[in-house]
Amino acid sequence: MVECAGIFGAAVRSNDMGSHPPEAPGDAALVDRARAGEVAAFEALLKRHQAAAFALAYQMVRQREDAQDIAQEAFVRVFRGLRDFKGQAAFKTWLHRIVVNLALDALRRRSRQPAASYDDAREPGDEAREEVGTHPEGDPARSLEAREAREAIRVALEELPAPQRAVLLLREVEGLSYQEIAEVIGCALGTVMSRLHYARRRLRERLRPFLKE
Contact 83, 54 (CB under 8 A): no
The answer to whether 184 and 176 are in contact (CB under 8 A) is: yes
Among 139-153, 157-171, 190-204, name the one with the lowest average pLDDT: 139-153
pLDDT at 21 over 60: no
Residue 122, pLDDT > 50, answer no
Q: Could you list the residue range(s) of the whole structural domain that residue 34 is in?
A: 4-210
Rounded Cα distance between 62 and 118, Å, is: 7
Any idea what DSSP says for residue 210?
G
What is the CATH number for 88? 1.10.1740.10
- Give the lowest-confidence range in 56-70, 97-111, 199-213: 199-213
pLDDT (0 to 100) of residue 125:
40
The pLDDT assigned to 143 comes to: 72
**Burial of 73 (C-beta count, 10 Å sphere; 0-12/13-18/19+):** middle
Q: How far is CA 31 from the centre of its chain?
A: 23
Mean of per-residue pLDDT scores for the chain:
79
Overall domain count for the chain: 1
- pLDDT per residue as tens digits for the range 130-147: 333 444 455 666 777 777
